[in-house]
Chain A
Amino acid sequence: MITSSVLPRLLIIDDLFGRIHKDRRNKERANLCGQYLIEDVTDDETGKGPEQRVKTPVAQAVFCRGQKPRLSTVGDMVENDLEGTLQVIQEGWSGRHPDRPRWAMILLDLCFYTGKVTHESNQKTLGMPEGRVDDDDPEQYFGLRLLKEIHHRFPDLPVVILSSKPRGQVSREFTQHGALAFLPRGEENSKELLREYIKRHALIPDESQEIIGHSTALLLTLRAARRAALDHLNVLIRGERGTGKELLARYIHRHGSQDVARPYVVVDSGALNPQLYASELFGHKRGSFTGADRDRKGRILQANGGDLFLDEIGNMPMDVQVGLLRVLEQREVVPLGALEGQPVNVRFISATNEDLESKAATSGFRKDLLDRLREGSTISLQPLRERLDDLDQLVESIVHSAEQAKPSVMKRQIEPAAMERLRSYHWPGNIRELRSCLYNAVYSYPDVEHLQPIHLRFDEGTLRSPMPSEIAPTSSRAGNSKDTLPEEVNGDLTADTLEAIITVMKEFQFDNIKPAELLNKLPLLQEAYAQLAVQLLKAALHATSKPTLDNPEGELLIHPAIKLITGDKSITASKAADIIKRLFALHPEVEKLIEIDPVLKQAYETALRLRPRQPSHRTTISSDGSA
Chain B
Amino acid sequence: MSVPVWQHRRGHFNHDWLKNQFLLALGNFINLLDDLIENEELESSFVAVVLPQWEEHRHEVIYLLADFEREMSPRTLFQTSPLARCDQDTQQWLGDIVHTLWLVKHPIQNCLQEASTRLCEADEAYECLQTELKRCSNTRSASALRPLRSLFVDFYRACQKLAKAIEQFPSDVRIT
Asked whether any CB of chain A lies closer than 8 Å to the CB of B24, the reply is yes
Shortest CB-to-CB span from B122 to chain A, Å, is 13
- In chain B between 33 and 64, which residues have their CB closer than 8 angstroms to a CB of chain A? 35-42
Q: A51-B40, A186-B163 are in contact. Are A136 and B20 (CB under 8 A)?
A: no
Asked whether any CB of chain B lies closer than 8 Å to the CB of A336, the reply is no
CB contact between B21 and one of A37, A56, A125, A165 (< 8 Å): that residue: A125
Structural contact, A186 and B8, CB atoms closer than 8 A = no
Structural contact, B3 and A124, CB atoms closer than 8 A = no
Q: In the bound complex, how far is the Cα of B31 from the Cα of A169, in angstroms?
A: 30
Asked whether any CB of chain B lies closer than 8 Å to the CB of A187, the reply is yes
Q: A133-B3, A164-B19, A185-B19 are in contact. Are A50 and B32 (CB under 8 A)?
A: no
- In chain A between 170 and 192, which residues have their CB closer than 8 angstroms to a CB of chain B? 185-188, 190-191
Chain A residues with CB under 8 Å of B36's CB are 34, 37, 54-56
Chain A residues with CB under 8 Å of B18's CB are 186
CB contact between B25 and one of A31, A133, A191 (< 8 Å): that residue: A31
Structural contact, A54 and B171, CB atoms closer than 8 A = no
Q: A35-B28, A133-B3 are in contact. Are A185 and B16 (CB under 8 A)?
A: no
Asked whether any CB of chain A lies closer than 8 Å to the CB of B126, the reply is no
Q: In the bound complex, how far is the Cα of B21 from the Cα of A27, in angstroms?
A: 9
Structural contact, B37 and A34, CB atoms closer than 8 A = yes
- In chain A between 477 and 529, which residues have their CB closer than 8 angstroms to a CB of chain B? none
Q: A164-B15, A164-B20, A186-B19 are in contact. Are A136 and B27 (CB under 8 A)?
A: no
Number of interface residues of A (CB under 8 A): 35
CB contact between B2 and one of A52, A124, A131, A133 (< 8 Å): that residue: A133
Chain B residues with CB under 8 Å of A55's CB are 35-38
The number of A-B residue pairs with CB atoms under 8 Å apart is 96
Chain A residues with CB under 8 Å of B27's CB are 31, 34-35, 186, 188, 190
What is the 8 Å Cβ interface bit string for chain B, positions 5-17, against chain A (1 contact, 0 not)? 0011001101111
Q: A35-B31, A133-B2 are in contact. Are A186 and B24 (CB under 8 A)?
A: yes
Asked whether any CB of chain B lies closer than 8 Å to the CB of A472, the reply is no
Chain B interface, >50% SS class: helix
Chain A residues with CB under 8 Å of B7's CB are 136
Q: A55-B36, A55-B37 are in contact. Are A185 and B23 (CB under 8 A)?
A: yes
Q: In the bound complex, how far is the Cα of B29 from the Cα of A50, in angstroms?
A: 13
Q: A34-B31, A35-B27, A136-B7 are in contact. Are A187 and B160 (CB under 8 A)?
A: yes
Q: In the bound complex, how far is the Cα of B83 from the Cα of A575, in angstroms?
A: 121
* 28 CB-based A-B contacts, threshold 8 Å: A27-B25, A28-B21, A30-B42, A31-B24, A31-B25, A34-B27, A35-B28, A35-B31, A37-B37, A50-B41, A52-B42, A53-B38, A53-B39, A54-B36, A54-B37, A124-B16, A131-B8, A136-B3, A136-B8, A138-B171, A164-B19, A185-B23, A186-B18, A186-B19, A186-B20, A186-B23, A186-B163, A188-B153
Q: A35-B31, A111-B15 are in contact. List 17 more A-B contacts (CB 8 A).
A: A30-B39, A30-B42, A31-B21, A31-B25, A34-B31, A37-B37, A51-B40, A51-B41, A52-B38, A54-B37, A55-B36, A124-B12, A164-B15, A186-B20, A186-B27, A186-B163, A188-B157
- On A, residues with C-beta under 8 Å from B are 16, 27-28, 30-32, 34-35, 37, 50-56, 111, 124-125, 131, 133-134, 136-138, 164-166, 169, 185-188, 190-191
